[in-house]
Amino acid sequence: MPNSDLLPSLLVKINENQLALEAAILELSNWVERLVRGSRQRSRRLGRD
């Protein structure tokens, strides 16, 4: 199989991986945001603004 035949499938795989990484980074960002928000709320309840 010539290399030119492999290029489209390689580009599809790269795109799939990019989308998966984007979703993982977004999920991680959301998790950190919730963690920080919860920490701030606990600090406020304890009077540690």
* Token pair in block for residue 41: 């709320």
* Token pair in block for residue 27: 């999920």
Asked whether the CA dihedral 4, 6, 8, 11 is positive or negative, the reply is negative
State yes or no: pLDDT of 1 exceeds 80. Answer: no
Say what the pTM is.
Answer: 0.70
Q: How far apart are CA 17 and CA 42, in angstroms?
A: 37
Alpha helices in the chain (DSSP H): 3-45
Q: How far apart are CA 31 and CA 12, in angstroms?
A: 29
Mean pLDDT over all residues of the chain? Answer: 91
Amino acid residing at 47: G
Window from 9-13, 21-25, 37-41 with minimum mean pLDDT: 37-41
pLDDT score, position 40: 86
